[in-house]
Amino acid sequence: MQNTVTPTDVLECVISGDFHDPFSVLGMHRESGRLFVRTLLPGAVSVSVVDAHSGKELVRMERFADTALFDAEIPGRKEPFPYRLKIDWGTHRQELEDAYRFPCVLGDIDVWLLSEGTHHRPYERLGAHPAVMEGVAGVSFAVWAPNARRVSVVGDFNGWDGRRHMMRYRYECGVWEMFIPHVMPGDLYKYEIKDIAGEIRLKADPYAFRAQLRPDTASVVHGLPPAVPSDERRKAANAPDAPVSIYEVHLGSWRLPGDGRRWLTYRELAEQLIPYVKSLAFTHIELMPVNEYPYDDSWGYQSTGIYAPTARFGTPDDFRYFVEAAHDSGIGVILDWVPAHFPADEHGLVRFDGTALYEHADPKEGVHQDWGSIIYNYGRTEVSNYLVGNAFYWIERYGVDGLRVDAVASMLYRDYSRAPGQWVPNKYGGRENLEAIAFLRKLNETVIAERPEAVTMAEESTSFPGVTHPVRDGGLGFHYKWNLGWMHDTLSYLREDPLFRKYHHDKMRFGMMYAYSENFILPLSHDEVVHCKGSLIGKMPGDEWQRFANLRAYFGFMWGYPGKKLLFMGGEFAQYREWDSNGSLDWYLLQYPLHAGMQRLVRDLNTVYRDFSPLHRLDYDPQGFEWIIHDDTDSSVFCFMRRDGEKQSVIVISNFTPVPRYGYRIGVAEPGWYREIINTDAAIYGGSGVHNHELLAQPVSSNGMPWSLEVTAPPLATCMLVRKDS
């Protein structure tokens, strides 16, 4: 071999794939006044250097000690120049650009921002990006693995051989990077990592924009989706004074086509699901996680690819089409988003470079004992930046309208679901996870500052203070919070036989004691119809007619009550069976009048909710609600008024017994004629048809008001009244 400068032991390390700085050896170099090209090409029979401009073959390279390392001095040249490698593989010949002749991928600003964890868009630099460098098409790769001894890109394009494309290490930020010519969108790849102990780990790209369908686990080269412009209409539709009624969906089990042996694609769902949601007058659709995940029964809540829409339903472009179709139909899209934990699958984030990189090293901090999953280390700036960047990515690059953040309570408390002695206190000795709190605040501040049209929603099951309060006031900065307390209390009440509900009256009115402490969403989510909890209709007591009447009355009460609404798929037509994520909803039930009536009621409730401003405008202002009757325990009747802050009001009356209440007097604030705008006991919904004709307010004071109505409260029903001129 002609080279006499580079030590033999260094060359041997390069050949064995155990050298931390391959760019200092491979490629074109000036050494002792001479110009050399060196390449490592396992399987090559011979290699020559070709001038990239002229196409002239300059020199045949020599093999080093019968290895895969080839070397040549370029005769008559002293300055570096563009070149290619002409390779004889024995079975075929190939002329390729040498990946080791290209400069750094990351600029100085990127390195700085990534190192301090303040890069709002880390996905623009990390991951795999189709690019053109020095006029050559290829893909730039970058991955954070600061404790690795060596990182290589492997894929079909190099025979999955980790010696072919060993990456450059940027010690300033712990990132390994490389531009590889000739790699194309659609190519499979992973990172081969030699960790500090010399063990080889094969990892999917944490920033992959596309991934293989399970059980395969490779990442797929795919371009970064273009940014979606901000939309003031979407901002208005997500606002606290807007009607927000959410249809929660698991894409894999909403409906199965044909013989049920495959899923609907994103494009098929755009054609079927979106019109269905629109026909029921929901304003938003919430998707259980659509990021890539390995295990079907995790429903996406344990993800190994948070930047990649799952391949189960199509490509990233197909998912973008789905979101655009929703927006074209006036429907907002909310994604369930899971920064609380990740699975321990070997190809994922766990011990990514051989160390606890994304997670905590101590299992008392780093392992969810309930779920067997791994907890992110929010105190590492790079991890926080990875997650905040991902939230921003879905909003900016796919145009989603909101993120419902899963399992927030598990993030906020270090002792969450842990026995004494099995958790690590914070630096002050307390149970609050200060790093997670700081991360959530950073998340919400970033979304508000960069994409103010989008919203974040917390699934937070404790009474942690200020979840939806601004960060500047000491809050977490979420826009909305799920009211799980209201959901548990009211479902507990509805499970009671109507004969005994008078003893549980407080469960229906207790929620008003804290209703304005947060910006609440009222959720009837998938969590309530799975894991042996039964269906919503299955929780209702009585015979079939009573069960349906109870659920209709409950929906009416919920749609009248302050707070945005959320209903899981199947609830809208009262599916009998508990939700099965491996099957399909029981659509055949809609041939039966009670189920079809329930679906029609949900549509009409959504329509009334959208059309009558008192039902949504002052959801988070005490001026928007007033109890009229809350203490009639014997009759199990509730009556309240909703106001919009101007001149409009809606009266909501719920009777949770099967006894109709005729001549039931309720106070009203104004004289005039009143009419029903909805009655869950209407015959079109499957009810008994007891209803109110037009009612004239009488100058008889009642419930502290100067006027009153004598109404009929239908059995097991909710009705809503407005003045006739409304």
- The domain 8-97: what is its CATH number? 2.60.40.10
Residue 422 has what pLDDT?
92
* Topology match between the domains 108-220 and 618-723: yes
- What is the amino acid identity at position 176? W
**Cβ neighbours for 374, distance < 8 A, ≥ 6 positions apart:** 341, 342, 343, 344, 349, 350, 358, 359, 366, 367, 368
Helix, strand, coil percentages, rounded to 5, for the chain: 30, 25, 45
Arithmetic mean of pLDDT, 584-599: 97
- Cα separation of 143 and 243, whole Å? 43
Which residues, listed in sequence order, are joined to residue 212 by a DSSP beta bridge?
Answer: none
Q: What are phi and psi of 240, to 5 degrees?
A: -60, -25
What does pTM read for this prediction? 0.94
Tokens in use for 421?
A: 């002695």
pLDDT at 472 over 70: yes
> Cβ atoms within 10 A of the Cβ of 714, count?
28
pLDDT at 4 over 60: no
Which CATH architecture group holds 618-723?
A: Sandwich (2.60)
Domain boundaries, the chain: 8-97, 108-220, 618-723
Residue 117 has what pLDDT?
85
- Cα separation of 359 and 374, whole Å? 7
Catalytically annotated residues: 406, 459
Residue 476's pLDDT band, with cuts at 50, 70 and 90, is very high
Which CATH architecture group holds 108-220?
A: Sandwich (2.60)
**pLDDT tens digits along 664-677:** 999 999 999 999 99
Residue 726 has what pLDDT?
61
Between β-strands 219-220 and 188-194, what pairing exists: parallel, antiparallel or unpaired? antiparallel
**pLDDT tens digits along 541-580:** 999 999 999 999 999 999 999 999 999 999 999 999 999 9
725 burial type by CB count under 10 A (0-12 exposed, 13-18 middle, 19+ buried): exposed
- Cα separation of 109 and 113, whole Å? 6
